[in-house]
Structure formats: structure tokens, C-alpha cells
Amino acid sequence: MTGFGIGSLRVTPLVDGFGLECARDVLTRAGVGDPWAEHADQVDEGGDLRLAIGGYLLRTGDRVVLIDAGVGTIDNGRYRGGAFLESLRREGLEPEDVTDVVFTHLHFDHVGWATQKGQVVFPRATHHVHEADWERFVTGPEAEPGAVRKLSPLTDRLATFGGDTPIAPGLDARPAVGHTPGSTVYVVSDAGEKAVFIGDLAHSVVELVEPGWSFHFDADPVAAMQARADLVEEFVDTEVLIAGGHFPDFRPGRLRSAGDTITWTTNEED
Ligand SMILES: [Zn+2]
């Protein structure tokens, strides 16, 4: 899988595996009985939404950055990972070469390779995450045992933030909460070009081209819907690339409007 450029910077998707979610169960649209009827091309024959699982590699200056870290070695019939480190090695990189891991949020399908068997997988990397997600999943009263086990080993290599924060040259964290308490988008910019990595602000492009979708696992559905609407309003009809956490083949795209209609366009040659 080839990558895409942002100015002089290069981004490469790192495939770990895939996930399956029943589209009609996880994504509904207020006031629309069968919102998937018009989006049959986005689901498989069984009505499942097929989620790309993995992350993105960004090289900027002397920094080697991962945006999310896949699902790990899981294989439960619905989610399957395992290829993330091979994908990294295909780019000529070993885990020790990674200087930064930035998490859009701390759900299991974004942190799978953060640690394996209690060991930090990217031993030299600083791991960046919104403080509200760290509290929600690891240290707070609602912390989840699986997340505590997976993520606690990162404690000594952690950098939390609470608002808009520069991470590396050309890479900025921008909280966009709702899906989780600390969900964050990452803005990559160079030489007048820009891409925004939205994590699970949307699981399918349908959520960007039509208003009113809600995702079953959004922690705060109202805030998540607002964050999506704000994103669309900010970037529609701009040259900014939008890269999802689970969009097909990790292919980024742009939003174009014509009247009341918004469409998602990708560069097939990218
Ligand atoms: Zn996800």
C-alpha cells in the first residue's frame, strides 16, 4: 500500500488487519429508517462494515511517528490483527526507530501494538494521548481492566495533553471529544498542504457526507455528532485531506459540496 504526500512529508498507512461491525447496528441516522439503503456500496454482502485496522506512519524531520497502533495479535472472528510490525518493516523501520506514538483515542483497536505481553513495543517512543482518555481508560474510577493491562506499561513513556498541542514539526494534536472523552484529531501540515487524521470521529465516510449519523459506541453522542459537523464545516471544499481511522484501504479523501449534497472524493492514483 502506497502512501500520500503532505508538502514534503510522507504518510504511509500501516495495515494491521481488519474489523467487521454490523453496519445497521453500529451506525444509525436520526429520522431515517434504513439509512444504509442508499449506501450499499459501503457494506459487504452480509451488511457488515469492513473496517481497515492499523495506523499511519509519518516521517517529519528526524521523527518517526505512528498515528495509532492497530489492534494487535487479536483474532476473534470480528477483528483480526497481526501485520502491523511487518507493515512497519516494509518501510525499512524497526520498532526501536519509532520516536513518537500518537493516539487518537485509547480503544482496543488503536492501541493493540502499544504493548505486547506487558512490554512496550516501541521502547524509545514517547506516547502521546489526551489526559482525559488516559484517565478514562487507565487511571480513573471507570478504568477498564483490559486497558489498564495493555496501557499501564506506557506510564514512564507517556506525554499527556489537555488542549491543542504541537507534537512534532508539522504535527499538531487537536482534541475533538465525543467518541471518547479525549478523542483527538491530528493535523499534519507542510508547505501549505494539510491533512487531518480523524481517528474514529467517523467510522465510515457516510457520517461525513450526511448529517445526523450516530455511532453506537460514542461515549457522548451529542458531542461526537457536533465534532463531526464541525469537521465537515471546516474542511468541506478545501484542499485538506481527511484520513480516517478505519476508512477503506486507509485512503484519504476530500469533501466537496454541490448545493445540499456533500460528496467524498479520493485520488485513486495516490
Ligand atoms: Zn476504532
Measure the CA angle with vertex 254, ends 249 and 255; round to 5°: 125
H/E stretch holding 131 reads helix 131-134
Residue 270 in this model has a pLDDT that exceeds 90: no
Ion ligand 1 — residues with CB under 5 Å?
A: 109, 200
Q: What is the pLDDT of residues 133-180, one digit of tens each?
A: 999 999 999 999 999 999 999 999 999 999 999 999 999 999 999 999
Q: Which residues contact 28 (CB under 8 A, 6 or more apart)?
A: 35, 213, 214, 216
CA of 107 relative to ligand 1 center, distance in Å: 6
As a whole number, the mean pLDDT across the chain is: 96
Looking at residue 193, what is its pLDDT? Answer: 98
CA of 258 relative to ligand 1 center, distance in Å: 30
Is the distance from CB of 24 to CB of 36 less than 8 angstroms? yes
Binned at pLDDT 50, 70 and 90, residue 2 comes out as confident
Q: What is the pLDDT of residues 230-258, one digit of tens each?
A: 999 999 999 999 999 999 999 999 999 99
Whether the predicted model's global pTM rises above the 0.95 cut: yes
pLDDT exceeding 70 applies to what percent of the chain?
99
Domains of the chain: 4-265 (3.60.15.10)
Gap between the Cα atoms of 69 and 128, Å rounded: 12
Is the distance from CB of 185 to CB of 176 less than 8 angstroms? yes
CA of 17 relative to ligand 1 center, distance in Å: 12
CA of 259 relative to ligand 1 center, distance in Å: 31
**Type of residue at 255:** L
Gap between the Cα atoms of 185 and 245, Å rounded: 10
